Amino acid sequence: MLADTWYLFNKYVKISMRMPLWSLFSLIQPLIWLFIFGSLFEYFADLPGFPAETYIDYFVPGVLIMTVLFGSSWAGVSLLREISAGTVDKMLVSPASRSAIVLSRVLHSAVQVVIQASIVLVAAWMMGATTSYNPIYILLAMSVILLLGIAFAALSNGLAIMLQREEPLVIMGNLMTMPLMFFSSAMVPEKFMPEWIHAIGIVNPIEYAVTAVRSILAAEPDLNGFATGFGVTFLFSAATLYWAISAFKTYRD
Amino acid sequence: MISIKNLNKTYASGALAVNQLSLNVSAGEILALLGPNGAGKSSTIRVLTTLSGFDEGEVTVAGFNVDSEQEKVRQSIGYVAQETGVDYFLTGRENLTLQGHLYRMTKKDITSRIDELANYFELTDVLDNLVSNYSGGMRRKLDIATALIHRPKTLFLDEPTLGLDTPSRQSLWQYIRKLNDEFSLTILLTTHYLEEADKLANRVAIIHKGQIKIIDKPEKLKDEIRGDVVSLQFSKPENKNQIAEALGRNDFVKDQKWEQDKLHLYVSNGATSIPRLIESCSELNCNVENVSYSRPTLDDVFIQYTGSSIDASESDSENKWWEKWAGKGGGGKWAQKWQEDQPDESTTDSQWTTEEAEQWHKNKQWSKDETAQWQDNKQWSKEESAAWHEDQNQDQNENQNQNTSNPPEQANSKTNSWPENNEWKENSNQQWDNSDNKKWPDGSDK
């Protein structure tokens, strides 16, 4: 299974390398948000009780998570393309491990969003954001991003198998990402949220990922906060991955 | 090599795909499943290749049960799907290598096998080009090569030449036959091209509505019909039974089959029986529009066993994605109404009355594609096109912008009366009047 995953992962990497422009395009959105929200909410930081020096400092973890959401939530679309192109059938008639087919796709999307998130982080630094520069902490933050990327890519791939059609898949993608993001503290500190939104945050996996990244990238990293967030994100991605693989295994008409 | 006993398969949508199908393919044989789209060919092949589950039946491939020994079946077969299964963004070599890895071959083995296959399919020169730059025929060859990388003994080809032009199709047939000759590969292919089944297969199985109607060598199937086939096209026959009975009284008529308004008669000698058949028809006061007779083809065999021509029974009933969603979310009623309001597109030309056809033409807005397709379908005689042309030139001289001429009507076809709206005329101006260098549909120069 691992060997199959590796060969298929390589295939997807090769394909992305041959269309680097597309990876670049999906970077544009988080960069624009970094810029727009960074400027729009600049004076938030003047409010009493705002938890960071400047708004952009606060927003960086949020925009990193947004990069993940927008980079991997539509990963299933290309699975549908592959199904209709016949390449999935080609894999399925071979003895290749079924889990490897899902795993390689999901890993590929997750690695892609880690690279994108790294670029966004550098861009944020260039716009004057300050975070922890400790390479270990940055790596830990990226590990959360990898896990969340796996989770959303797995969700999207699993939904693709269930829905079998692009249009509803894209609708579901939108439905998943947008509200989850606004129901988290990605852009607005918890303190400023209405009570009910805060309550929803408790069951929002994105909230935990944002907290984990924010805790570890803070000037004074909060390792406990990170550990909780990391743990929940890990469980979330394991569960979604399991679900996607079993959805794929039952994919047989 | 392949054995199917009483296979039943129903899709989740409730559509019955395969109905009590039994079939044996012996080692080293090419067997063609011949049938229109939706007959159950692909469903059968998907069961055999472990891609689909099934409800009932006993299916073994290469001695392994497709249900309980999937891994072993997969290891011993090659499968080429209707859609090209090769990745467009990889090179030919990368596609082959990946496939080799998935079949757990060693690196060394993969390299040598790729050389072998590239040589065989004459792909060596393009092996390191991206597949997106390949022609349709090359892609199909690469697809077959990837299916053969692990040296399977059985090969499944689902519509192997679908969408290919005639030269590529014929060249592919040669490769397929060679594979069978030289490596005694067992090949099960599906097709809805009669010619393909006729030329390629050792045996042909005619499949219709999920069942095998007859299975035999193509020559034998055609021999069984013996004699000629006379087809009489009637205009709106009201008394089909009466016609059939009256014509059947002629002792030279061995069998007959209605296909919509067309009656196919299997007779011992076409040339001598036509006058007598026409006579019988005029006694009955029914109007024969068109008569044709031919030596039997596989299509006649097909009509004999299924009651319809292979082209007429085309239906895309399999796996319509929207059926799953139709009626959910409140759209059902609306969709139904819309469907009722649609003109019935399946109506074939031959069923139209002259008035209907004229009416239709008046109402229809012709798109460019349609005009082009019409052009392709129409058989122009030289005289017709010359006459039309003369008209056209005159008109052009008289008035550059106002084109009022019509091309000549073809004698017995109602579909080519010309639409009378300006949009179409614009098309005709663009495509024909101004194209001095264009060949005419009959191949003649202007």
Q: What is the pLDDT of residues B383-419, one digit of tens each?
A: 666 666 666 555 555 544 444 444 444 444 444 444 4
Which residues from B are below 8 Å from A19, CB to CB? 89
Confidence bin at A107 (pLDDT 50/70/90)? very high
Partner B contacted by A20 (CB < 8 A) = no
Residue B355: predicted pLDDT: 59
Q: What is the pLDDT of residues A141-183, one digit of tens each?
A: 999 999 999 999 999 999 999 888 888 888 888 888 888 888 8
Chosen for mutation from A94, A101, A103 (greatest number of chain B CBs closer than 10 Å) is: A94
Backbone angles phi, psi at A30, to 5 degrees: -60, -35
Number of A/B CB contacts below 8 angstroms equals 80
Asked whether residue B321 carries a pLDDT value surpassing 60, the answer given is no
Residue A250 · residue A243 · CB < 8 Å: no
Burial class (CB in 10 A: 0-12, 13-18, 19+), B257: buried
The overall average pLDDT reported for chain B is 76
The interface predicted TM-score of the complex, written ipTM, equals 0.86
A93/B104 CB distance under 8 A: no
Q: Where are the alpha helices (DSSP H) in B227-269?
A: 240-248
Domain ranges of chain A: 2-249
- Over residues B217-233, the mean pLDDT reads 80
Element holding B176 (H helix, E strand): helix B166-183
Residue B232: predicted pLDDT: 87
- Over residues A235-249, the mean pLDDT reads 94
Confidence bin at B166 (pLDDT 50/70/90)? confident
Chosen for mutation from A18, A89, A90, A166 (greatest number of chain B CBs closer than 10 Å) is: A90
B102/A14 CB distance under 8 A: no
- Tell me which amino acid residue B186 is: T
Two tokens at A243?
A: 């679900």
Q: Which of B52, B98, B319 sits opposite A7 (nearest CB)?
A: B98
Of B234 and B305, which is predicted with more confidence? B234
Q: How far is CA A132 from CA A19, B269, B288, B339, in A?
A: 33, 95, 91, 62
Which residues from B are below 8 Å from A89, CB to CB? 51, 79, 81, 83, 85
Please give the distance of CA A163 from its chain centroid, rounded to a whole number.
21
Asked whether residue A29 carries a pLDDT value surpassing 70, the answer given is yes
Chosen for mutation from A84, A91, A93 (greatest number of chain B CBs closer than 10 Å) is: A93
Residue B357: predicted pLDDT: 56
Of A39 and B364, which is predicted with more confidence? A39
List strand residue ranges (DSSP E) for B47-202, in order: 56-61, 64-65, 77-80, 154-158, 186-191
What's the rounded Cα separation, in Å, for the pair B280 and B278?
5
Among B37-51, B251-265, B309-323, which stretch is predicted with the lowest mean pLDDT? B309-323
Among A10-24, A53-67, B127-141, which stretch is predicted with the lowest mean pLDDT? A10-24
Confidence bin at B378 (pLDDT 50/70/90)? low
- Over residues B231-237, the mean pLDDT reads 83
A95/B74 CB distance under 8 A: yes
Which residues from B are below 8 Å from A163, CB to CB? none
Chosen for mutation from B66, B89, B148 (greatest number of chain A CBs closer than 10 Å) is: B89
Which residues from B are below 8 Å from A94, CB to CB? 74, 99, 102-103
Domains of chain B, CATH where assigned: 2-220 (3.40.50.300), 227-295 (3.30.70.260), 352-433 (no CATH)
Concatenate the DSSP letters of all residues of A151-162 into one string: HHHHHHHHHHHH
B98/A95 CB distance under 8 A: no
Q: Which of A7, A11, A93 sits opposite B51 (nearest CB)?
A: A93
Question: Smallest CA–CA separation between B168 and chain A, in Å?
Answer: 21
Among A63-72, A84-93, B414-423, which stretch is predicted with the lowest mean pLDDT? B414-423
Q: By percentage, how much of chain B surpasses pLDDT 90?
A: 27
Partner B contacted by A220 (CB < 8 A) = no
Q: Which of B53, B86, B99 sits opposite A94 (nearest CB)?
A: B99
Which residues from B are below 8 Å from A84, CB to CB? 83
- Over residues B54-80, the mean pLDDT reads 91
Q: What is the pLDDT of residues B169-193, one digit of tens each?
A: 889 999 999 999 988 899 999 988 8
Q: Taking the CB of residue B390, how many other CB atoms lie within 10 A of it?
A: 11
Residue B80 · residue A100 · CB < 8 Å: no
Residue A233: predicted pLDDT: 95
Residue B228: predicted pLDDT: 80
- Over residues B421-435, the mean pLDDT reads 41
Asked whether residue B99 carries a pLDDT value surpassing 90, the answer given is yes
Please calculate the CA angle A49-A50-A54 and round it to the nearest 5 degrees: 145
Q: What is the pLDDT of residues A192-226, one digit of tens each?
A: 888 888 888 888 999 999 999 999 998 888 899 89
Asked whether residue A61 carries a pLDDT value surpassing 50, the answer given is yes
Which residues from A are below 8 Å from B75, CB to CB? 95
Question: What is the SS3 assignment for A221?
Answer: coil
Chain B, nearest residue to A7 by Cα:
B98
Partner A contacted by B161 (CB < 8 A) = no
